Amino acid sequence: MNILVGYIKDNAKAVFPLALVVVLLNLTLVPIGWPLVLRFLVGSILVIFGLSLFLVGVDIGITPMGSLTGTSLVKTNKLFIVLFAGLILGFMISIAEPGLMVLAHQIASVTLGAIPARLLLVVVSIGFAIMVALGFLRVVLNIPLKVFLLVCYILVFALAFFTQPEFLAIAFDASGATTGILAVPFLLALAVGISSLRKDSKASEEDSFGLVAFASAGAILAVMVLNLIIGTQQYDSLADLGSVAVERVAILRPFLKYIPSSFGESFISLLPLSVALFVLQKVLFKLGKYPFARMVKGFVYALIGMTVFFVGVDGGFMEVSSVMGSGLASLDNKIWLLLISFYLGFFTIVAEPAVYVLTHQIENVTSGSIKRKAVNAALSIGVGIAVTMAVIRILTPSIELWHYLLPGYIIAIGMMRFVPTLFVGIAFDAGGVATGPMTATFILAFVQGAASSFEGANLLRDGFGMIALVALLPILTLQILGFIYQARSKKQGVDTDAAS
Amino acid sequence: MQQANCERKEYELICVIVNFDLGSKVLGMAKKNGLSGGTIMLGRGTVHNRLLQLLELTDIRKEIVLMVSEKSQAHRALAVIDAEFDFRKPNHGIGFSIPVGAFIGTGNYEYDFNAEDGGVDSLYKAIFVVVDKGNGEKVMDFAKAVGARGGTIINARGSSIHETAKLLNMEIEPEKEIVLMLTKTESADGIVRAVRDNMKIDEPGNGIIFVQTVTETYGILNA
């Protein structure tokens, strides 16, 4: 069974529960019409194939390049070069991230131009880049991961005090947006490359995770600092993002419409890494013809895969989930809405591209000791709860976002004490990984659809809340997994030799 | 150090290579058939196919399962595993076993180092030490102190009868390291003894050592 077939199988398994619930809901609670359902099914097939091709591309192109970059940088043995490369790479990946671009434009229009899109894009990318470089520095200087995370989040809390609520929401959303479909695989691989040279195998394993977490904290900090500089202002929070115009009849046409934009987005986000690949090949890697061609082919796979994936998600998933959300929210019995929210969160996360990359990496780094299934289960439960909590917040407007976030992050940081460092790194990385394109489109559309059925619910505010929660809950559930794992892997029956 | 046990047991190393994700199943079956544990490494296989080569789709993730056991038991277990996986068919994996000279570590097995395995006289031995993750470096240090010239640490996972906890219906297989050292036959005894004493291999749950006779070696420099 070759890798492509394997991926198609796994992704089909991941997408199937989503298709199932859409068909079932159409037959029972929320008749959304067969054309829309058929579009969802076509979208699902595109997502399965796009995702599989993309993952092959990650496997043979992006991951090898990332870890090779990390290793080559450390081998130069010059701290200056490592830091400088961290800054440049971090900045380039972040500024080309399609999710961040969309967010920056949304914010520019909501704030009526008070925060220009370009300014936000650059500020977030600078924050991201600085933290990537500091993350490199941490590994090289051997500063414990937990200490570093603690300092990061204390800083976030301290700044959050002085940040106005709108900016707080933007900050968390920006961090979710930057750690997107390409940044995560590349950062994960970089971290492995840098840490793999360490002699101490335990430390090398632990240092393989955490870089994504720092990078996303960097984005949060950057937006908060931006707020401090430009000061508190009054924004018109009533601006409507423009709800999705639902095309109810056509089945295939909507997909065609998205092909150019999806290709453009994928191309732009791959561009900086491709340029970096060619530059580094000339300067640093000096690979032979065959391995270099292999990496280039990997990038082609990633480009095709991303395009197909985005066409499937944008054309097939968005509207269905939005219609489903508002349909469920207008039912009298809200239990259904909450149950479906949990179900969607639970199953969608497994189809998130970066999640597969993270679990794959965990398997490789731990030689398969920490199983994909276990990590997926923890992630699914976490995101399921997160989406449910976001919907509860829409139903009861008196709950503020920080009522969730503040205790959540305090617990997350407190738990670090009791959880093995490896799992702390994985958990905080997973927070960034979970907020990928599936969450930012499919789940977001569902939550906003639900919000649109309520008087007094604010589309923008509730959407932001959801992404911040999806970033938080996996940190908690994965740390719990780590805690259980540690407790259960203690050797048993060592004194009682009971072999048969 | 030698235990004057009356009856010498013969041991076999079972090696099974299957597709990724099936290693744990192999290990589980082996344990049900009386083996005391095993170690799993990740590997990569390739396919020979022109088109797939052009598309760079030749990689297959594999898992290699290593298990040591008493000879007749090993053959029984391997037969059971073969029956389940049907190794005769293509792409179902492979399994084989090799005689092992000495085996130390699971507590219930006796040990007789000087016994010849297979009656081959050889200059070299391959020493395999399986320990918990992070201890491979220590093993190397102890071995080097008594004359080992080098070794290779392989990342792996595995479980023995001492590690049987389950999580979400999956058996937990903690991370391990395999240290592989090729040494001259005359220094092998000392290295095994040093590692065995310092790592407390005889106490259950601290790892295992097994030694195999090597018939040909290349690239080992003698200073």
Nearest chain A residue to B157 by CA: give it.
A369
Nearest chain A residue to B20 by CA: give it.
A368
Cβ–Cβ gap B172/A297 under 8 Å:
no
Which of B42, B108, B175 is the closest to A499 by Cβ?
A: B108
Asked if ipTM goes beyond 0.90, one says: no
Reduce the secondary structure of chain B to three states and give it as a string.
CCCCCCCCCCEEEEEEEEECCCHHHHHHHHHHCCCCEEEEEEEEEECCCHHHHHCCCCEEEEEEEEEEEEHHHHHHHHHHHHHHHCCCCCCCCEEEEEEECEEECCCCCCCCCCCCCCCCCCCEEEEEEEEECCCHHHHHHHHHHCCCCCCEEEEEEEEECCCCCEECCEECCCEEEEEEEEEEHHHHHHHHHHHHHHCCCCCCCCCEEEEEEECCCCCCCCC
Burial label, A291 (beta-carbon count in 10 A; 0-12, 13-18, 19+): middle
Chain A contacts of B61, Cβ < 8 Å? 3, 6
Per the DSSP assignment, residues forming a β-bridge with B62 are B19, B43
What Cα–Cα distance (Å) separates residue A189 from each residue in A58, A195, A357?
A: 10, 10, 10
pLDDT at A44: 93
- Interchain contact A490–B (C-beta under 8 A): yes
Cβ–Cβ gap B40/A367 under 8 Å:
yes
What domains appear along chain B, each with residue ranges and CATH number?
10-100 (3.30.70.120), 102-216 (3.30.70.120)
Cβ–Cβ gap B59/A59 under 8 Å:
yes
B140 versus A396: the higher-pLDDT residue is: B140
- Interchain contact A31–B (C-beta under 8 A): no
Dist. CA B205–CA B107, nearest whole Å: 9
**Mean model confidence pLDDT for chain B:** 81
Cβ–Cβ gap B56/A2 under 8 Å:
no
Cβ–Cβ gap A488/B167 under 8 Å:
yes
- Interchain contact A488–B (C-beta under 8 A): yes
Closest CA relative to residue A213, chosen from A448, A423, A487, A381: A423
Residue B25 has pLDDT above 70, yes or no: yes
**Chain B: closest CA distance from residue A162 (Å):** 43
What mean pLDDT do residues B159-182 have? 78
Closest CA relative to residue A128, chosen from A186, A204, A62, A73: A186
Which of B134, B137, B172 is the closest to A489 by Cβ?
A: B172
Summarize pLDDT for A283-330 with one digit per residue, the tens: 888 888 888 999 999 999 999 999 999 899 888 888 888 888 888 888
Chain B contacts of A4, Cβ < 8 Å? 57
H helical segments located in A163-233: 165-178, 183-195, 201-206, 211-230
Nearest chain B residue to A5 by CA: give it.
B57
Which of A3, A366, A368 is the closest to B63 by Cβ?
A: A368
Structure tokens belonging to residue A456: 């007094």
Residue B201 has pLDDT above 80, yes or no: yes
Residues of chain A below pLDDT 70: 1, 110, 232-249, 455-464, 490-500
Which of B59, B155, B167 is the closest to A3 by Cβ?
A: B59
Cβ–Cβ gap A367/B91 under 8 Å:
no
Dist. CA A414–CA B106, nearest whole Å: 39
Nearest chain B residue to A375 by CA: give it.
B168
Chain A contacts of B58, Cβ < 8 Å? 2
Are the beta carbons of A185 and A66 closer than 8 angstroms?
Answer: yes
Are the beta carbons of A266 and A310 closer than 8 angstroms?
Answer: yes
pLDDT bucket at B4, cuts 50 / 70 / 90: very low
pTM of the complete model: 0.87
What mean pLDDT do residues B180-204 have? 87
What mean pLDDT do residues B145-153 have? 88
A465 versus B88: the higher-pLDDT residue is: B88
pLDDT at A426: 94
Dist. CA B181–CA B4, nearest whole Å: 27
Chain A contacts of B164, Cβ < 8 Å? 492-493
Cβ–Cβ gap B173/A369 under 8 Å:
yes
Nearest chain B residue to A493 by CA: give it.
B162
H helical segments located in A96-144: 98-110, 117-141
Q: For residues B159, B163, B165 and B170, what is the CA-based torsion angle, rounded to 10 degrees? A: 0
B222 versus A212: the higher-pLDDT residue is: A212
Could you tell me the strand order of the sheet in which B11-19 lies?
A: B94-100, B11-19, B59-70, B37-46, B152-160, B175-184, B124-132, B208-214, B102-104
HSE-CB at A290 with a 13 A cutoff on CA atoms is 3
A386 versus B101: the higher-pLDDT residue is: A386
Nearest chain B residue to A368 by CA: give it.
B157
**What is the widest separation between alpha-carbon atoms in chain B?**
60
H helical segments located in A282-371: 289-312, 318-329, 334-348, 353-365
The torsion region of residue B184 among left (phi > 0), alpha (psi -120 to 50) and beta comes to beta
Q: Which sign does the torsion angle of CA A112, A114, A119, A120 carry?
A: negative
Cβ–Cβ gap A60/B59 under 8 Å:
yes
- Interchain contact A289–B (C-beta under 8 A): no
Chain B contacts of A1, Cβ < 8 Å? 19, 60, 91
Size of interface A-B (CB pairs under 8 A): 107
Are the beta carbons of A14 and A347 closer than 8 angstroms?
Answer: yes
Cβ–Cβ gap B168/A56 under 8 Å:
no
Structure tokens belonging to residue A149: 């995370």
Residue B118 has pLDDT above 50, yes or no: no
Dist. CA A133–CA A81, nearest whole Å: 10
Structure tokens belonging to residue A450: 């639900």
- Interchain contact A371–B (C-beta under 8 A): yes
Dist. CA A293–CA A296, nearest whole Å: 5
What Cα–Cα distance (Å) separates residue A342 from each residue in A28, A30, A190, A258?
A: 18, 17, 34, 29
Domain boundaries defined on chain A: 3-231+247-486
**Chain A: closest CA distance from residue B52 (Å):** 9
pLDDT at A436: 83
pLDDT at A492: 55
Cβ–Cβ gap A497/B107 under 8 Å:
yes
HSE-CB at A280 with a 13 A cutoff on CA atoms is 25
pLDDT bucket at B3, cuts 50 / 70 / 90: very low
Cβ–Cβ gap B133/A201 under 8 Å:
yes
Dist. CA B48–CA A143, nearest whole Å: 46
